[in-house]
């Protein structure tokens, strides 16, 4: 019965998500439709083109993050050097961080153990966290990434920013679908992170101080015996 209950809970969550996504996508679609109607009557000005484009970007972002959430049910876990994985992510983020005057410093144990992970998903976690950190520092700043192994067979990863921070009463809300304080946010990034870390049998926690910055801490088991396939949802 425990399994059945879990399954029905998942179905309920899926239904909630589907309703949320339909709602979130309908708003930009409605505004795009309005502008397209203006097109017809030849009243369309250049600024409207930009609104249409940014609304389309928003739909694209929502659908993109939802695709990550609903990836196929089996994922391939492989042994991976986290250090390398992170270097790839930092390279991917480099344009965005330079443009926003943000520097990423990493401090990594020299003998960091290998980790068994779903590579693309774990990269997605760090992409989302770096993106949030950059967006939290509109005037630029530093991001510190720390990774340490320990004798408990886990790796502790921290992504620390010097950004706007999060009020304590908001922290429990984070990770709920569509909670966003950003004009162009989707509110799906952290939820995706939670979900992926959960799949890796790890834990994600948020520590933050308004106007000081935010630390996202992930504790993830190294899982010495490699698993080839695991259920995702």
**With CB under 5 A as the contact rule, which of the stretches 40-48, 69-77, 87-95, 132-140 interacts with Mg ion?**
132-140
Residue 189 contacts Mg ion per CB under 5 A: yes
Q: Which is nearer to ligand ADP, 188 or 223 (CB)?
A: 188
Sole binder of ligand ADP in the list 186, 197, 218, 222 (CB under 6 A): 186
Q: Which is nearer to Mg ion, 79 or 217 (CB)?
A: 217
Sole binder of ligand ADP in the list 68, 86, 89, 187 (CB under 6 A): 187
User: Among ligand ADP, Mg ion, none, what does residue 186 contact (CB within 5–8 Å per kind)?
Assistant: ligand ADP
Q: Which is nearer to ligand ADP, 22 or 78 (CB)?
A: 22
Rounded Cα–Cα distance for residues 162 and 32 (Å): 37
Q: Which is nearer to Mg ion, 189 or 202 (CB)?
A: 189
Determine the size of the site formed for ligand ADP (CB under 6 A): 22
Sole binder of ligand ADP in the list 132, 158, 199, 222 (CB under 6 A): 132
Residues interacting with Mg ion, by CB under 5 A?
A: 132, 189
């Amino acid at each position: 019965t425990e399994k059945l209950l879990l399954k029905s809970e998942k179905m309920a969550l899926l239904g909630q998500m589907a309703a949320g996504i339909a709602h979130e996508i309908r708003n930009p679609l409605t505004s795009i439709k309005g502008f397209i109607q203006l097109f017809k009557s030849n009243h369309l000005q250049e600024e409207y083109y930009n609104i249409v484009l940014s609304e389309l970007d928003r739909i694209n972002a929502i659908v993109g993050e939802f695709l990550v959430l609903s990836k196929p049910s089996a994922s391939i876990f492989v042994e991976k050097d986290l250090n390398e994985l992170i270097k790839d992510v930092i390279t991917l983020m480099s344009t965005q961080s330079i443009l926003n005057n943000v520097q990423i410093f990493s401090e990594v144990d020299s003998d960091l153990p290998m980790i068994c992970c779903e590579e693309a998903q774990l990269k997605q976690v760090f992409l989302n966290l770096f993106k949030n950190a950059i967006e939290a520092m509109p005037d630029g700043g530093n991001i510190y990434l720390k990774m340490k192994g320990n004798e408990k067979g886990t790796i502790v990863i921290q992504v620390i920013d010097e950004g706007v921070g999060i009020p304590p009463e908001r922290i429990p809300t984070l990770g709920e679908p569509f909670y966003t304080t950003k004009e162009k946010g989707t509110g799906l990034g952290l939820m995706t992170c939670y979900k992926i870390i959960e799949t890796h049998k790890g834990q994600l926690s948020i520590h933050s101080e308004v106007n000081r910055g935010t630390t996202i801490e992930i504790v993830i088991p190294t899982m010495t015996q490699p698993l080839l396939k695991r259920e995702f949802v």
